[in-house]
Amino acid sequence: MLVVMQAHASEEQVRAVCQKIEAMGYRAHAMPGAQRTAIGITGNQGEIEPGTLEEMLGVQELIRVSKPYKLVSRDIKQDNTVIRFAGTEATIGGPGLAIVAGPCAIENREQAFAVAERVCRAGAQFFRGGAYKPRTSPYSFQGLGEQGLQIMAEIRQQFGMKIITEAIDQESLELVEEYADVIQIGARNMQNFSLLKRAGRCKKPVLLKRGMSATLEEFLMAAEYVMSEGNYNVVLCERGVRTFADHTRNTLDLSLVPAVQRLSHLPILVDPSHGTGKRNKVTPLSRAAVAVGADGLMVEVHHQPDLALSDGMQSLYPEQFDELMVQIRQIAPVVGRTVPGIGRQTPAVTARPPRTAAATPAAD
């Protein structure tokens, strides 16, 4: 904490603030400057509760200095966290990109298998699909629940992909923990601290999505909640934030990737499907996410977006996902990455042609 005094603050006022700080049990460091005096506070173990310091005579402003996160920080652990999965080479945070794909929601067995077959063949090592859907409207399809989890367990069995799916409360968390390989906490629950703590007592990795208006610090503190309960396998995921911009559903903040990597050892994925909300933007932003250095992608794919029960507008067609995989295989080496894949390799598809005119948006 730094206390900035007003330019015309008297020596007496500076002294009074220092005494107050000492009375609160901290140390005060007065630094007289050309224009004004600033007073540093040290000796605190955690965050300083500033109480009424800001109201004292002569005080201009308080500036917080210490960062409240510990376990997520590179200060504690300098090496990258790499999450491994038994019986597979797939990792999250290792040199191979983690590719997560699947439908927004599991709608039925046929749909889920149809999509799974395609994304596996294209190279995805992780299958995503919602069994519990947090929907803005209580009247929208809310997911199949445990039945959806069972379908995903069968998909793991058949295709070897690891399963990532969202838990929305304590009850669903218990089932997700049982069926899935990675427990997703969605953007709307990023500060559902009860759920975070409960996830922190799970034995499986947690994928934590950034809240719609979460600062980097709040995002890291949410991960800290999970880790503080003993679960160190946390994966962060940027999925777009809320801004004034209205050409996409959210504004995908790719600068978060290098920012997280500078402060934290945790891996970070990017979800361009929710990050843009528009199918024709998913592929370009996926390429950008790999190029910026993300540890992987989370992409929605649906074989019949027209009939999707949710988020059909932002789901790639399987053919588009094939092409996306071809493109990111070419970009990955530039950032020292590989794209492993567990399925059969896709046949060669030609790279994306240059910018197309609006007359043929479907090709974009």
Residues between 189 and 248 with contacts to a copy of itself, criterion CB under 8 A: 189, 191-195, 197, 212-213, 215-216, 218, 221, 224-225, 228-229, 241-248
Which parts of 244-273 interact with a copy of itself (CB under 8 A)? 244-248, 251-259, 261-263, 265
| Alpha-carbon separation of residue 69 from 160, 217, 241, 267 (angstroms) | 36, 8, 22, 16
- Crossing angle for the helix pair 109-122 and 318-331, nearest 10 degrees? 30
- In the range 36-75, which residues lie near a copy of itself by CB under 8 A? 36, 38, 40, 42-47, 49-52, 54-57, 59-60, 63, 65-68, 73-75
Q: How far is the CB of 154 from a copy of itself (least distance, A)?
A: 26
Residue 151 beta carbon to a copy of itself: minimum distance, rounded to whole angstroms: 21
Residue 330 touches a copy of itself, criterion: CB under 8 A: yes
> What Cα–Cα distance (Å) separates residue 135 from each residue in 150, 168, 177, 211, 246?
21, 11, 21, 15, 20
Indicate whether 90 belongs to the interface with a copy of itself (CB under 8 A). no
Lookup: tokens for 30: 């007065």
Local structure of 130: helix, strand or coil: strand
> Can residue 117 be called a binding residue for a copy of itself (CB under 8 A)?
no
Q: How far is the CB of 37 from a copy of itself (least distance, A)?
A: 9
Q: Any residues with CB less than 8 A from the CB of 259 and at least 6 apart, and which? A: 216
DSSP 230-289: T---EEEEE--B--S--SSSSB--TTHHHHHHHHBSS-EEE-HHHHH--HHHHHHHHHHH
Residue in 4, 16, 82, 114 binding a copy of itself, rule: CB under 8 A? 4
- Count, residues near a copy of itself per rule CB under 8 A: 139
Q: What size, in residues, is the chain?
A: 364
Based on the shown chain and the rule CB under 8 A, indicate whether residue 145 belongs to the binding site for a copy of itself.
no
108 is a site residue for a copy of itself (CB under 8 A)? no
Considering only 106-114, 151-159, 324-332, 340-348, which stretch makes contact with a copy of itself by CB under 8 A?
324-332
